[in-house]
Each structure stands twice: as structure tokens, then as C-alpha cells.
Amino acid sequence: MLKGGLKKIASYPRFTILVVIATFIIFWAAWTTGPLEKFPTQSFFRLTKTIKIKICEGKKRKKKKSNICIESSFVMTASGFVVANGESEGSYILTAAHVCESLDDLKNIKIDPLQKIFKKPKVSLVSEEFKGIDIRGAEHTLKIVHTTDTDTDDLCLMYGDSIEEEPLPIADTAAPNGEKVYNMSAPTGYSFKNMVPIFEGYYSGLNPEGWAIFTIPVIGGSSGSPILDKRGEVVGMIVMRLVRFHHVALSPQRAAMATFVKTGLRKHKTPGCLCSKSKEE
């Protein structure tokens, strides 16, 4: 009796439609909640900035015509990712503006107090060089195309004429609160050939200053790293962290990132031209 009843129920068109709808809902739920299975590591770049500085005696010497000066250099690491390809060659990489701004770095240079050469040391920038290392370990020269101020959106667009990687798409909409996200970065420069550290966290909304908040671990070298949703689209980029809790990352809002990239590409009209740095109006 039960068997015959089931056959009768299953014969109804409405029952078949409900089964199809239920199956669709199950697959849709699995797709929307599932993890990002294939990470686009080929679009990630570990960035290095080599800064050459000159340290001179700021106080003029009475008996000597010239002051004592020495030159030194140091290297900083950061992260970046491809956001667009050039019209004929090369690609554009997005990172944080404070990575590109070397003058701010000079303020943080500390002279060894035991070094008695200088009474009033004066530090100046001699040169700066940017390199991008891809997932295969190849090194590419980068030039700054466009930046914002570090206290606004903290964004910098760079160009490398030898880079031909697939760009990461910026999402059309912001991530919903509580959505799981993923991050590729080189914390403390820790990224090698065929290896990029991958982290995960959650989008938590905006803070009062308008920065997007993600619960992702952050340390020096993470700046400029992309934050991706489950579709592999960019919903943020790490530029700051909480000082007392390194598992909270701050990012410019997605819309500001998309607008900035479009503006930078428009300003850099000739792909082969390695333009100088300019501030966003």
C-alpha cells in the first residue's frame, strides 16, 4: 500500500517540479558557501623596494669646506597583484601607496646613537628601485604610475613591461558582512618560487573612518596583498592593521579601488612609457 502510494505521489508533475527546485537549491547553497578552490597565485607578486640614502652632517664645519657624508641602502618587502594588462605589452600591479612612498620611510630611519660621526645627521634620498617577483621566481622591474595619499585610500598603481599575467577582477559589489574571504600575501617577505602563503578570514563591515575591516592576520610585508571572495574576485587589499591585535586588517573600500585603477590606466595612456609618480587629484 505504501509502495503504491509513493508511486502515485511521484507521478504528479508538481512533485517532480519540487524535486528539481530542491536539487537546485542544494547545489546553489553548496556553490555560494564553498571555498575558493583554485587560487590565482600567478597574479600575485612579492615586491621589493631598494632605497639608497645619503647621511650627511647637518651642522656646518668651520674649518672644512665639505661636510662628512656616507651612503647606505636598505630593502623593504611588500605584496601586490595584477589588475590590468597593457594594450600591447606589460601589466599593471596594485599595491599600497605607503609602499611606493619612500620619503615617509626616511622619517623612520634611526641613526645608531653610538656612531659618533654625525652630531646632527641629515638623511636624504639618493635613489629607489622597485622589483616584482612572480610565482615562478622571475624578477621584473616596476615603475610607479599613479598613487593616492597614504592617509586617504593608500593605493599605488605600478607598471612592469615584462609582466604578462592574468589580472584579478575587482568585484562589482562589496562583500556582504560575514562573508568568508581569502588572502595571498608575503608576510615579512616570506614567499618563494611556487609558494605563496594563503590566509582566510571574514569581512566584518566598515569602521567609523570608512576602512573595510577583515579578520586576516597581518604583519610587515602583507601590505598590498589582495583579499578575494569565493569567486576569486578582489573585494579588498591589506594596507594597515590594528597595532594591538594583528588579526584585524584594514582595506580601502572596493569602489575606491576600482575607481583608482580606472583613473591610473587612463593617465598612463602609453603602455611603454614608464611614467613618474603623480598624486591623485
Q: The dihedral of CA 239, 244, 245, 246: what is its sign?
A: positive
Task: Give mean pLDDT, residues 130-140.
Answer: 97
DSSP state of 169: P
**Count of domains observed in the chain:** 1
Q: Which residue has the higher pLDDT, 267 or 21?
A: 267
Q: What is the pLDDT of residue 281?
A: 30
Look at residue 6 and tell me if it is in a domain: no
Chain mean position to CA 45: 9
Q: What is the pLDDT of residue 239?
A: 97
The answer to whether residue 180 scores a pLDDT higher than 90 is yes
Q: What is the pLDDT of residue 1?
A: 44
Look at residue 208 and tell me if it is in a domain: yes
The answer to whether residue 108 scores a pLDDT higher than 50 is yes
Return the H-helix or E-strand segment holding 70.
Answer: strand 69-85
pLDDT digits (tens, 9 = 90+) for 182-241: 999 999 999 999 999 999 999 999 999 999 999 999 999 999 999 999 999 999 999 999
**Residue 177 domain boundaries:** 41-60+68-267
> Of 96, 44, 40, which Cα lies nearest the Cα of 252?
96
Q: How confident is the model at residue 125 (pLDDT cuts 50, 70, 90)?
A: confident
Chain mean position to CA 136: 19
The answer to whether residue 90 scores a pLDDT higher than 50 is yes
Look at residue 148 and tell me if it is in a domain: yes
Q: What is the pLDDT of residue 53?
A: 84
Give the list of residues 6+ apart from residue 70 with CB closer than 8 angstroms, or none: 54, 55, 117
Q: How confident is the model at residue 22 (pLDDT cuts 50, 70, 90)?
A: low
Task: Give mean pLDDT, residues 92-118.
Answer: 74
Q: What is the pLDDT of residue 277?
A: 40
Look at residue 278 and tell me if it is in a domain: no
pLDDT digits (tens, 9 = 90+) for 25-83: 555 444 444 566 688 999 999 999 998 888 887 766 666 556 678 888 888 999 999 99
The answer to whether residue 267 scores a pLDDT higher than 70 is yes
Q: How confident is the model at residue 273 (pLDDT cuts 50, 70, 90)?
A: very low
The answer to whether residue 251 scores a pLDDT higher than 90 is yes
**Which CATH number do you get for residue 118?**
2.40.10.120
Look at residue 193 and tell me if it is in a domain: yes
Q: What is the pLDDT of residue 262?
A: 95
Largest distance between two CA atoms of the chain? 115
Q: Which amino acid is at 5?
A: G
The answer to whether residue 105 scores a pLDDT higher than 80 is no
Q: Which residue has the higher pLDDT, 201 or 18?
A: 201
Residue carrying C-alpha cell 612609457: 273
Look at residue 24 and tell me if it is in a domain: no
Q: What is the pLDDT of residue 228?
A: 98
Cell digits for 237? 587589499
Taking the C-alpha atoms of 149, 150, 154 and 156 in order, what is their torsion angle to the nearest 10 degrees? 70
Q: How confident is the model at residue 2 (pLDDT cuts 50, 70, 90)?
A: very low
Q: What is the pLDDT of residue 6?
A: 44
Q: What is the pLDDT of residue 235?
A: 98
> Of 251, 175, 170, 171, which Cα lies nearest the Cα of 207?
251
Q: What is the pLDDT of residue 38?
A: 80
Task: Give mean pLDDT, residues 275-279.
Answer: 40
Look at residue 126 and tell me if it is in a domain: yes
Look at residue 20 and tell me if it is in a domain: no
